Amino acid sequence: MDLVIRSIEEDDVDQIAEIEKECFATPWPREAFLTEIRENKLARYIVAEVDGKLAGYGGMWLIINEAHITNIAVKKEYRGLGIGNRIVESLIYYCTAHNIERMTLEVRKSNIVAQNLYKKYGFVEYGIRPRYYADNNEDAVIMWRTNKLR
């Protein structure tokens, strides 16, 4: 498997929108990703390609010395291959290289697989956002990580 992690490009947006629809009950629309790429100076997004095909992506907003992970998704056909790990590792690497001290995210309370992935990389549960997800009023687990800076 030839896995490449790279910065997002506008040409990736249609495929990312399809992955969003496959992975999330309330997916971001295509236009939201275009706005993130074109206008949001705080946003950083990466994609994972397997053998030249888009397999997943991750994004975050950088606010002063903190990063808020907005999305991480891997197409179903590519799950279990370590791609989610590489996306998380790449986001962490970016943050430590740019002196971003802390990272945070919200994850569905029922998404134990994702929570375990984040815990593997030092994210710790810090609280709950009650009824955070509009599609079913599910709670979100708030997780934080402190980076070891250079």
Catalytic residue (choose from 106, 125, 132, 138): 106
Q: Angle CA(38)–CA(56)–CA(104) in degrees, nearest 5?
A: 70
Q: What is the DSSP letter of 121?
A: T
- Angle between helix 83-97 and 112-120 (nearest 10): 40
Q: For the range 115-123, what are the long-range contacts, defined as Cβ-Cβ under 8 Å and sequence gap of 24 or more?
A: 115/141, 115/143, 117/84, 117/85, 117/88, 118/88, 118/143, 118/145, 119/143, 120/85, 121/88, 121/89, 121/92, 121/145, 122/146
106 is catalytic: yes
Residue 120 DSSP SS3: helix
Residue 95 DSSP SS3: helix
Catalytic residue (choose from 18, 118, 125, 126): 118
118 is catalytic: yes
Active site residues: 106, 118
